[in-house]
Amino acid sequence: MGYFKNINFFNYRNFSSLDIDFKTGCNILIGKNGSGKTNILEGISLFEKGRGFRKDKISNLINFNNKKTNFNIKSTFTKEKIDLKINVFNTEKNLKKISVNDSTESQSIKYFSSIFSIIYFLPEMERMFVLSPSYRRNFLDRLIFSCFKDYNLIINCYKKAINERYLLLKKQSYDEAWMNQVESNIVSNGINIYKKRILHIQNINNYLKKININQNFYNNYILKLKDDFLDSYSKIYEDKDQYLYQLQKNRNNDFFYSGCSIGPHRSDIYCINQNNNFNSNQLSTGQQKTLVILIIISQCIFLIKDLKLDPIILLDEICSHLDDNNRELLLYLTNELNVQTFMTGTDESFFSFLSTNAHYCNIA
């Protein structure tokens, strides 16, 4: 099992300095609104690639009382009784940097990235299935990224090619060879995204069907990918020429509507009950939350069993809309799965249903 032993914040967000020790299992951060509980979870998420789960500007991570000094987040991450000293900090140009045992070499960073993954729940996810399709796509892409750390590079290359194609279309008079190359890049990355999304949904559904915690309403729900392009051209992700032909065919239409009308950036993800085709967007907020927690549990089991990765779970303000079903799922997550979990809340009594082994941290 891999876990964070401690964390030290310097000049980060609302903290000029803060030290916290953690336990291997469930860690609960208690504090008033505005005390910085979510900032701590964000700080942990910064140990992965990217800008953390808020995706904020790096300059905004610096303590507002001391903008002239860089922020620094230090932690000891333990894996198989070996301690790694991890630092996250910003450069003078406000770029995020990670060091492992004082090394910023790519080999060291890649090793650390390969031994753990972060999965998080944010309050807005309670309404996952009534939010925008892009939110759900990003949720699925985040799950895939926690398994395959190069996936974000594929997504970014795809988005860049989509944007480059539109800029060429706006010129109207463009180099045909250049356009063909850009569309070829769209196809190769788009096919890769389709394949990874379809495969990952299959993996999640495999464990969703096997979870036997509480059989009230959700035992027959599965994730599905909705995509008109896939529906029209079955297994388009296996037919590069057809995909390329459809892009070429849609050039005028895409120029008129200022975008790209086909591809994985148009997909949607939803949950459906296999017995009665009941769609998750018709569920209550609490029931949608139950499905999201179930998906997180399925993701954890997949990471542990199939990829031998240690997931770190961040659950922000998890106690709203917490019925018996959700409590039972959180108990399973904290008691049955060998993972380090972080939860936030304003009152310790909200977590009374958890094991007495839970470690409480009061954030002043």
Tokens of 141: 């892409």
- Is residue 280 within 8 A of residue 308, CB to CB? The reply is no
DSSP SS3 for 223: strand
pLDDT the model gives residue 279: 85
261-277 tens-digit pLDDT = 999 999 999 998 887 78
Q: Which residues have CB under 8 Å from 56's CB, separation 6+?
A: none
**Rounded to two decimals, what is the model's pTM?**
0.94
Q: How far is CA 227 from the centre of its chain?
A: 21
Asked if 333 and 297 touch (Cβ cutoff 8 Å), the reply is: yes
Q: List, in sequence order, every residue forming a beta bridge with 343; answer none if it has no partner.
A: 28, 315
Distance CA 258, CA 252 (A): 10
In sequence order, the 6+-apart residues with CB closer than 8 A to the CB of 231 are none
Alpha-carbon distance of 253 to 20, in angstroms, equals: 56
Tokens linked to 264? 């994985």
Q: Per residue in 197-228, pLDDT tens?
A: 999 999 999 998 888 665 555 568 899 999 99
* pLDDT given for residue 219 in this prediction: 63
pLDDT score, position 321: 83
**Domains (ranges, CATH) in the chain?**
1-115+309-364 (3.40.50.300), 130-307 (1.20.1050.90)
Residue 338, pLDDT above cutoff 90? no
Residues 117, 101 contacting (CB under 8 angstroms): no
Mind listing the pLDDT tens digit for each residue in 124-161? 999 999 999 999 999 999 999 999 999 999 999 999 99
DSSP 8-state secondary structure symbol assigned to residue 122: -
Dig out the tokens for 116 from the structure: 């753990």
